[in-house]
Amino acid sequence: MKVTNNQAGPRGLNTQDGPVLVEPGQSAEVELSDAELKVAKATGWFGFEGGGKADRPHEPGDAKTAPEVLALADGNFMAFKSAASKLLGDKTPEKKAEIVAALEDLATKPE
């Protein structure tokens, strides 16, 4: 699939062939595992082309639920923290374990 870096600085991807650095505005043809694709989408750093519905880029306005963000906990920490901060706001903890606890609490609260 074609992945384009839409950020001002270089960004890395963990492809099936190893790490790839994509410069700002540049594109790379890469193969990503399902887990890496999910993490890359969650960062909001990349645009994606190719593949089906599962390969659509994550749109910044897309709302994620606490369980969806918790599913990112074992991937890229910064992507996980960024997604968590969209739910937790200014009260987002700094440590992973504390973020997980806050998201679990949020997930179990009745609406």
- The reported pTM is 0.47
Find residue 15's DSSP bridge partners. Answer: 18
Residue after which a domain boundary falls, among 55, 75, 93: 55
Report the pLDDT value the prediction gives residue 66, as an integer from 0 to 100: 85
3-state secondary structure labels for all residues of the chain: CEEEECCCCCEEEEECCEEEEECCCCEEECCCCHHHHHHHHHHCCEEEECCCHHHCCCCCCCCCCHHHHHCCCCCCHHHHHHHHHHHHHHHCCCCHHHHHHHHHHHHHCCC
Number of independent structural domains in the chain: 2
* Cα gap 100→62, rounded to integer Å: 20
Report the pLDDT value the prediction gives residue 62, as an integer from 0 to 100: 54
Domain assignment present for 61? no
Give the structural domain span for 84.
66-108
Q: Do 71 and 47 have their domain in common?
A: no
Separation in Å, CA 62 to CA 15, 28, 79, 96 = 25, 25, 14, 22
Report the pLDDT value the prediction gives residue 39, as an integer from 0 to 100: 87
Q: Do 72 and 38 have their domain in common?
A: no
Residue after which a domain boundary falls, among 55, 74, 97: 55
Q: Do 42 and 10 have their domain in common?
A: yes
Digit-by-digit pLDDT tens for the chain (111 residues) are 999 998 888 999 999 899 999 998 999 999 988 888 888 888 888 988 864 334 444 444 455 788 888 888 888 888 888 888 888 888 899 999 999 999 988 888 765
Report the pLDDT value the prediction gives residue 58, as an integer from 0 to 100: 46
1, HSE (Cβ side, Cα atoms, 13 Å): 25
Q: Do 7 and 51 have their domain in common?
A: yes
Report the pLDDT value the prediction gives residue 90, as an integer from 0 to 100: 86
Q: Do 7 and 48 have their domain in common?
A: yes
Q: Do 47 and 78 have their domain in common?
A: no
Q: Do 51 and 10 have their domain in common?
A: yes
Domain assignment present for 60? no
Q: Do 44 and 75 have their domain in common?
A: no
